[in-house]
Amino acid sequence: MKKAFVLLLALALAALGGCASRTLEVEVYRAVLPYYLSDGPAVRAETVHVDASLGDIDAVAEAFNSAPADPELANPLPDGVRIEGWELADGELRLSVSAGYASLSGYRRSAADCCLTLSFCAVEGVERVSVSSGEALLTAAMSPEDICLADTSGGE
């Protein structure tokens, strides 16, 4: 009886180990909630676990569409807006998002564009990211070099 229990326990642990290996860690950028922005970054990376069977771009899209685990971070996409598809050609990833993305403006639009660019340009082969909804181009292709990650204004 004891040997059977040990064997069952070993099998259960092996099965759990197999389940754990079916996830992939993906780093995506999130907006730091405005009330935390007293002195620090406006966006920050968060590690998200996704299904390992997804391709690299689909894995980042799934992670990006998910809710943040860190309470100081927010998904930069408005409620109900999701990445719906993509096309990669000549280093440019053309993301297709739902229509509500067009309603973003100001800081929220800048943060969303920044988070999308930094998240997807980390994928091998992606050099620039553009954002469209339907036939409308909402954000022209951006690379990480187009994003200012520090206050360089010199003001105090």
Domain boundaries, the chain: 24-146
pTM above 0.85, yes or no: no
pLDDT tens-digit series, residues 40-57: 788 999 999 999 999 999
Q: Distances in Å between the alpha carbon of 79 and those of 82, 92, 102? A: 8, 26, 13
**Is residue 78 within 8 Å of residue 103, measured between CB atoms?**
yes
Which pLDDT score is estimated for 155? 53
Q: List, for residues 101-147, the tens digit of each pLDDT value.
A: 999 998 889 999 999 999 999 999 999 999 999 999 999 999 999 98
Residues in the chain: 156
- Is the pLDDT at 153 greater than 90, yes or no? no
